[in-house]
C-alpha cells in the first residue's frame, strides 16, 4: 500500500491517526498520515480537561464572536443564500470579564471529529480550555490596534487557530479568525444550526481563493466601517493589517492581498499556491511549511510563487512537522495521547507562534526582529531557504 504525496508514491509505514484528513489538506495535496508509532498511547489516556498553551504576551485577552451577513453577495456554494460568516475576534483586554471563552461548540466538535475520523470522543474539542474571556473591555492604545486576519485550512473550524490568535492578542494585536461558511466541518450560527463542509469533496476547486479574498474584504469593511460590527472596531488601524492562513487559508492570502490593498503583509502556513494569475506580489510574505516544502520539493507551486514575490520574503521549513502542525492540533494531539508529528507538539506550537509574531512585529510595527534574519540557535528546526 502506498501514500500519494504531490504525485510521488512512498511506502506507508505509519498508522493513520487522522483518517480522513485529506479534506483538511489544501486543494490537491495528499492524504495526511501522522507519524505515530506502535507504542502511541491510546486515546483513553487523554486528559479530561485539555487546554491550549498559555500566551506569552503582557496583555490579558478578550474574545467576542461576530455573525456577519453580506447582503450584497450570494453565497458561492449555496447561491439561494446570502454569504454569512462567523468571525471570532481576540484582542488585548483591560481585565478579564469573568466568562471563559469557549473553544468551539459541541456541534462543531462533533462535525469536525466525525468528518475526519479522529478517534476521540465527539464533543471533546468543546471542552478545550482557552485563556480568554468573553466580551472583556478592550484596550485602546494610542495609535490603534494592528489587525491580523486568520483563515483556517480546508474543512477546519476557525477555532483551530485559537492558540496563535491568543498569542498575538496578548502581544497587543486585534485578531480576527474567519469561519468561511460551507468550507469547514462545523460552523455553528447564533440560531443554533451548524453547517457542514459542502465543498470538501472537491478540494481542487480554485474558486475557494477568490471566495476567501472576498470574505476578507467584507470582514475588513465590517470591522472598520462607519458602524463597526465590534465595539472596539474604532481602535483598529487599517494601515497595519496582515493576513495569516493555514493550508487553504494560506493559499488564499495572495488572492486577498491582490484584491485588497489593506492586506499589507501575509503568511502561508503549509498551503499550496493555486491562485489563477501570475501577477507579482509586492508585499512582505512568509512561507512556512513542513519538511517537504523546500526548493525543488514535490510542491512546485512554492518555487513558482517564490519568483513572483517581489517584496520582502522568507521561505522556511520546519523539521519534524506535518501539515496540521501549524494549528492547535500540534499541542492538543499531544494531550490526547495521539502525537501528530515527530517534533514535540508544544515545541511546534511555540515555534509557530514565535515566527508569526516576529513577522507581524516586523511588518506591522516596524520592529527589528533578528529571528527573521536567518537560522537561529533558539529554533534549529527552522530551515531558511534561498533558491
Look at residue 16 and tell me whether its pLDDT is greater than 90.
Answer: no
With cut-offs at 50, 70 and 90, classify the pLDDT of residue 47: very low
Please list the residues that pair with 265 across neighbouring strands.
242
With cut-offs at 50, 70 and 90, classify the pLDDT of residue 118: confident
What confidence score (pLDDT) does residue 205 get? 65
Task: Find, among 126, 123, 129, 127, the residue nearest to 100 by Cα.
Answer: 129
With cut-offs at 50, 70 and 90, classify the pLDDT of residue 117: confident
With cut-offs at 50, 70 and 90, classify the pLDDT of residue 48: low
Between 36 and 281, the higher pLDDT residue:
281
How many structural domains does the chain have?
1
Q: Is residue 110 classed exposed, middle or buried when 0-12, 13-18 and 19+ CB atoms within 10 A define those classes?
A: buried
The angle subtended at Cα 360 by Cα 341 and Cα 21, nearest 5°, is 30
- Least reliable range by pLDDT among 15-29, 240-254, 283-297: 15-29
Cα separation values, 297 from 138, 301, 323, 333, 352, Å:
44, 10, 15, 27, 21
Return all residues near 59 (Cβ < 8 A) that are at least 6 apart: 92, 93, 139, 169, 170, 171, 172
Task: Find, among 232, 199, 206, 213, the residue nearest to 78 by Cα.
Answer: 199
Q: Which three cell numbers stand for residue 33?
A: 498520515
Cα separation values, 269 from 31, 99, 293, 345, Å:
17, 31, 10, 16
Question: What are the tens digits of pLDDT across the range 68-95?
Answer: 999 999 999 999 999 999 999 999 999 9
Look at residue 296 and tell me whether its pLDDT is greater than 60.
Answer: yes
What gap in Å lies between CA 259 and CA 75, rounded to an integer? 18
Three-state DSSP class for 257? helix
- For the chain, what percent of residues have pLDDT higher than 90? 78
Q: What number is the average pLDDT over the span 56-68?
A: 97
With cut-offs at 50, 70 and 90, classify the pLDDT of residue 41: very low
Residues of the domain holding 370: 2-384
Q: Which residues of 308-325 are buried (b: 16+ CB within 10 A; e: fewer)?
A: bbeeebbbbbbebbbbbb
With cut-offs at 50, 70 and 90, classify the pLDDT of residue 343: very high
Please list the residues that pair with 242 across neighbouring strands.
148, 265
What confidence score (pLDDT) does residue 275 get? 74
Long-range pairs of 255-261 with CB within 8 A, sequence gap ≥ 24: 255/209, 255/210, 255/212, 255/213, 256/149, 256/151, 256/212, 256/213, 256/216, 256/217, 257/281, 257/283, 258/213, 259/213, 259/214, 259/216, 259/217, 260/213, 260/216, 260/217, 260/220
With cut-offs at 50, 70 and 90, classify the pLDDT of residue 13: very low
What confidence score (pLDDT) does residue 174 get? 98
What confidence score (pLDDT) does residue 38 get? 28
Q: What number is the average pLDDT over the span 149-154?
A: 96
Q: Which three cell numbers stand for residue 178?
A: 474567519
Q: pTM of the predicted model, to two decimals?
A: 0.89
| CATH of residue 130 | 3.40.50.1820
Give, to the nearest 10 degrees, the angle between helix 162-170 and helix 345-364: 50
Please list the residues that pair with 92 across neighbouring strands.
61
Amino acid at each position: 500500500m502506498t501514500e500519494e504525496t504531490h504525485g510521488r508514491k512512498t511506502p506507508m509505514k505509519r498508522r493513520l491517526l487522522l483518517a480522513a484528513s485529506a479534506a483538511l489538506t489544501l486543494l490537491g495535496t495528499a492524504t495526511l498520515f501522522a507519524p505515530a508509532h506502535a507504542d502511541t498511547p491510546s486515546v483513553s489516556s487523554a486528559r479530561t480537561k485539555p487546554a491550549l498553551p498559555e500566551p506569552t504576551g503582557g496583555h490579558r485577552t478578550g474574545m467576542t464572536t461576530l455573525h456577519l451577513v453580506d447582503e450584497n453577495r450570494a453565497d458561492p456554494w449555496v447561491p439561494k443564500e446570502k454569504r454569512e460568516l462567523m468571525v471570532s475576534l481576540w484582542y488585548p483586554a483591560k481585565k478579564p470579564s469573568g466568562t471563559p471563552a469557549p473553544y468551539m461548540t459541541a456541534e462543531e466538535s462533533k462535525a469536525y471529529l466525525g468528518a475526519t475520523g479522529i478517534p476521540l470522543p465527539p464533543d471533546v474539542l468543546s471542552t478545550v480550555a482557552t485563556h480568554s474571556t468573553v466580551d472583556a473591555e478592550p484596550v485602546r492604545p494610542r495609535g490603534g490596534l494592528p489587525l491580523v486576519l486568520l483563515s483556517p485550512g480546508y474543512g477546519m473550524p476557525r477555532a483551530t487557530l485559537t492558540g496563535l490568535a491568543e498569542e498575538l492578542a496578548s502581544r497587543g494585536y486585534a485578531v480576527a479568525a474567519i469561519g468561511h461558511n460551507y468550507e469547514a466541518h462545523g460552523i455553528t450560527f447564533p440560531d443554533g444550526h451548524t453547517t457542514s463542509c459542502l465543498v470538501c469533496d472537491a478540494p481542487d476547486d480554485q474558486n475557494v481563493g477568490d471566495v476567501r479574498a472576498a470574505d476578507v474584504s467584507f470582514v475588513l469593511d465590517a470591522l472598520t466601517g462607519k458602524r463597526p460590527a465590534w465595539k472596539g472596531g474604532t481602535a483598529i488601524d487599517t494601515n497595519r493589517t496582515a493576513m495569516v492562513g493555514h493550508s487553504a487559508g494560506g493559499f488564499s492570502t495572495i488572492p486577498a492581498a491582490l484584491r485588497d490593498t489593506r492586506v499589507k503583509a501575509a503568511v502561508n502556513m503549509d498551503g499550496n499556491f493555486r491562485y489563477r494569475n501570475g501577477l507579482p506580489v509586492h508585499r512582505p510574505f512568509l512561507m512556512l511549511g513542513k519538511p517537504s516544502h523546500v526548493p525543488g520539493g514535490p510542491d512546485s507551486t512554492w518555487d513558482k510563487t517564490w519568483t513572483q514575490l517581489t517584496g520582502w520574503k522568507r521561505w522556511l521549513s520546519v523539521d519534524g512537522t506535518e501539515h496540521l502542525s501549524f494549528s492547535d492540533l500540534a499541542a492538543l494531539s499531544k494531550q490526547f495521547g495521539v502525537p501528530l508529528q515527530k517534533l514535540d507538539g508544544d515545541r511546534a506550537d511555540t515555534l509557530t507562534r514565535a515566527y508569526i509574531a516576529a513577522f507581524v512585529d516586523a511588518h506591522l510595527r516596524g520592529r527589528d526582529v533578528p529571528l527573521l534574519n536567518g537560522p537561529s540557535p533558539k529554533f534549529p528546526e527552522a530551515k531558511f531557504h534561498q533558491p
